[in-house]
Chains A and B, each alone.
Chain A
Amino acid sequence: AQKITQTQPGMFVQEKEAVTLDCTYDTSDPSYGLFWYKQPSSGEMIFLIYQGSYDQQNATEGRYSLNFQKARKSANLVISASQLGDSAMYFCAMSPSTGNQFYFGTGTSLTVIP
């Protein structure tokens, strides 16, 4: 069975500070992809960052980085220098090699405080 767990329903961060959003996953597939998406109140899911299960380096995309700890099955998102526009829901998702779908977590609501 595939499962994504996000244990932080809501997070607050001061503008310009860094924040870490937690994600753990469970899968028996040896090969999988991990994704983070941002969902503003408009509803559209915006792709942020991707990490492959065999990637040796942690992924980075601008202010986003993924802290991938394979043995712990965790894929935490780090947002550096938070901006007011970062306030949104954030979803961690996994795509195993055996299927064509995403498994999503329940999301974390991030609020950036001026």
Chain B
Amino acid sequence: DAGVTQSPTHLIKTRGQHVTLRCSPISGHKSVSWYQQVLGQGPQFIFQYYEKEERGRGNFPDRFSARQFPNYSSELNVNALLLGDSALYLCASSQKGRPSGANVLTFGAGSRLTVL
């Protein structure tokens, strides 16, 4: 079975540009979460979507936005890129909303964004 797939795997942008990252969850999973992992740090929560509705938002500026499509795939958009947005962006899917022993998050391999 396919796991969580993310695209692109690597990308380079310049300051001020816009980026769109894509995530396809495991089949049957209705929840998608996005995390930002800066080099040397643990992942930080950005968004969670469940059944196409936003169910959680982390402490990120409005330049960050996301959406979930009817097939439960998701996009993360970042506008007006800053150098500090350089990071590994991880997508995770689960069957339901809140992580638990019965609802473990499965992560993709991430999209590594470099902003020059």
Contacts and interface: CB of A to CB of B under 8 A. Distances in A.
Interface of A: 4, 33, 35, 37, 42-47, 50, 52, 91, 93, 95, 97, 99-107
Contacts of B45: 101-103
Nearest to B43: A104
Interface string B79-116: 00000000010101000011111001111111010000
Given A100-B48, A101-B56, A35 B104 contact: yes
Contact of B105 (A4, A47, A103, A107): A47
B42 A33 contact: no
B8 interface: no
Contacts of B55: 100
Contacts of B40: 106
Interface residues of B, number: 30
A100 B56 contact: yes
A63 B99 CA distance: 23
Contacts of A35: 99, 104
B58 A101 contact: yes
A44 B58 CA distance: 21
Report which residue of B31, B43, B58 has the largest number of chain A beta carbons within 10 angstroms of its beta carbon.
Answer: B43
Q: Please provide the 8 A-B residue pairs with the shortest distance between their CB atoms, ordered closest to farther.
A: A104-B42, A45-B107, A101-B45, A95-B99, A44-B109, A50-B101, A43-B110, A100-B56
A107 B40 CA distance: 8
